[in-house]
Amino acid sequence: MLRKVVCSGLGIIAPNGKSKEEFWENAKKGESGIDKITLYDTSHYPIQIGGEIKNFAPEHYFPADHPAPDLGRVALLSLAATRMALEDAGLEETDLALERAGVTIGNNGDMPLAWEIRQKWIHGELQDRADLIWRYPLNSISAIIANNFSLSGPNAVFATSCAAGNHAIANAYDLLQSGTCDIMITGGVESIPEDLFACFCQLRILADKVCQPFDKNRKGLVLSEGTGILILETLEHARQRGANIYGEILGYGMSSDAYHLTFPHPSGEGAVEAMRGALKHAGISVHDVDYISAHGTGTQPNDKIETLAIKKVFGRQAYNLPTSSVKSMIGHSLGASAAIEACVSLLTIQDKIISPTINYETSDPECDLDYVPNKCRKQDVKTVLSNSFGFGGNNVSIVFCETEQ
């Protein structure tokens, strides 16, 4: 028998909010977290802006008897968000039946201290810090979370670029649905170390002032850091312990564009297949969807082709369907983006308020849907489709819906 999968806790640290409450309040208000990067000197780079988490103080998230371990920024972000998510779910560490709780996280290789470790190696200093080497491998984030909270179930990092968070969530969903686990900590995390930032500058897809998804004059994406952590569990497990439930995951769809490393297929077929697959898996029709949390990166190709794909899937219904992109406010946090957008989907269902696409000034005839421009909107949202379309053509769409308490 396939179990229902629900979300009982959220932890978010984003450029416009260092907690779920702060993030969501600011998202509804349309507050941007994008600003000049201060973590390193960007004056010699063509771009100076990003979504940095300003004044991130790890010690605020850890109790005095369990201080923040010295594990680097990206690990600390994810540990802090996991703590908040567990608290949000009303779970103590002792509540987790160790072997039936696992961790799946989206992250793309800015592993704890990866840039620092490689730098040390280049400067001949790694000999003195052998202890750092085992933190280098790609899966260290999910391992660190499991070690910190003593979880012994399945454990993996998914590294599918912008879709990584959704791949991690989908896998967590499968492990719960099939009965392998009762609780999963899932989501995504990413920071923007200087080398990653420099490389993205060379790809020429970064905007220099703002992120303007779907706007005619959109210039590209804005890199950011962040983390979204979700506590997923089976419905029966959540009900048994009287947990507050944000919503249910009904299903997901996956596909590949099989086209280009950075450009989506011009026909939108990959995105179409992912969205259609999600609706089919969820057992719902296009008319059941109330809101789309778009991938909406702010690049010319993505926003145009995502719009085209939405129209192919939803037909005329697309014009009745609000579609907004939180990346307009917090930028693109790669491995974390889909996870934060999953949190947004669930918060939207809970609050019945759709967050806006900000910086929307000029409409684009090729992007003519309702993007909830600049101001949030009250709407009875029960079912959300959340899209993530990653580099390399990895596509995952997930359906979230309201569930009875």
Applying the rule CB under 8 A, the residues between 178 and 217 that interact with another protein are 178-180, 194-195, 198-199, 201-204
Least distance to another protein, CB of residue 155, Å = 4
Number of residues that bind another protein (CB under 8 A): 80
CA pair distance 29, 118, nearest whole angstrom: 40
Residue 14 near residue 226, CB atoms below 8 Å: yes
Phi-psi region of 191 (alpha: psi -120 to 50; beta: other; left: phi over 0): beta
- For the window 256-295, what string marks contact with another protein as x by the rule CB under 8 A? xxxxxxxx-----xx--x----------------------
d(CA 328, CA 356): 8
As a whole number of angstroms, the distance between CA 137 and CA 276 comes to: 35
Q: Which two tokens stand for residue 330?
A: 């917090």
Catalytic residue among 162, 181, 211, 343: 162
Closest approach, Cβ 59 to another protein, in A, equals 21
β-partners of residue 385 are 292, 399
CB atoms within 10 A of CB 64: 6
Question: At closest approach, how far in Å is the CB of 233 from another protein?
Answer: 16
Decide: is 317 part of the binding site for another protein (CB under 8 A). no
User: Segment 360-399, which members bind another protein (CB under 8 A)?
Assistant: 390-394
332 catalytic, yes or no?
Answer: yes
Could you say which of 138, 284, 353, 370 contacts another protein (CB under 8 A)?
138
Which positions from 73 through 132 interact with another protein, judged by CB under 8 A?
99, 102-103, 108-109, 114-115, 118-119, 121-122, 126-127, 130-131
Q: Considering only 14-22, 253-261, 324-332, 347-355, which stretch makes contact with another protein by CB under 8 A?
A: 253-261
- Binding to another protein (CB under 8 A) within 11-40 occurs at none
CB of 296 to another protein, least distance (A): 19
Q: How far is the CB of 375 from another protein (least distance, A)?
A: 30
| Cα gap 211→205, rounded to integer Å | 11
List binders of another protein among 212-251 (CB under 8 A): 219-220
Q: Is 318 in the site for another protein (CB under 8 A)?
A: no
Query: Is position 174 an interface residue for another protein (rule: CB under 8 A)?
Result: yes
Active-site choice (332, 343, 367, 376): 332
* Cβ at position 112, least distance to another protein in Å: 10
- Rank residues 108 and 224 by Cβ distance to another protein and give the closer one: 108
Cβ closest to another protein, residue 26 vs residue 140:
140
Considering beta carbons, is residue 55 or 127 the nearer one to another protein? 127
Of the candidates 58, 73, 336, the residue with the CA atom closest to the CA atom of residue 194: 73
Active site residue 237: no
Which helix (H) or strand (E) covers residue 165, if one does?
helix 164-177
195 vs 351, which CB is nearer to another protein?
195
To the query of whether residue 201 is one of the catalytic residues in this protein, the response is no
| Residue from 167, 237, 265, 295 carrying the catalytic annotation | 295
When the beta carbons of 78 and 323 are compared against another protein, the nearer one is 78
Structure tokens that stand for 332 in this block: 């693109």
Considering the complex, what minimum distance in angstroms separates the CB of residue 93 from another protein?
Answer: 11
Is the CB of 65 or the CB of 131 nearer to another protein? 131
| Residues annotated as part of the active site | 162, 295, 332
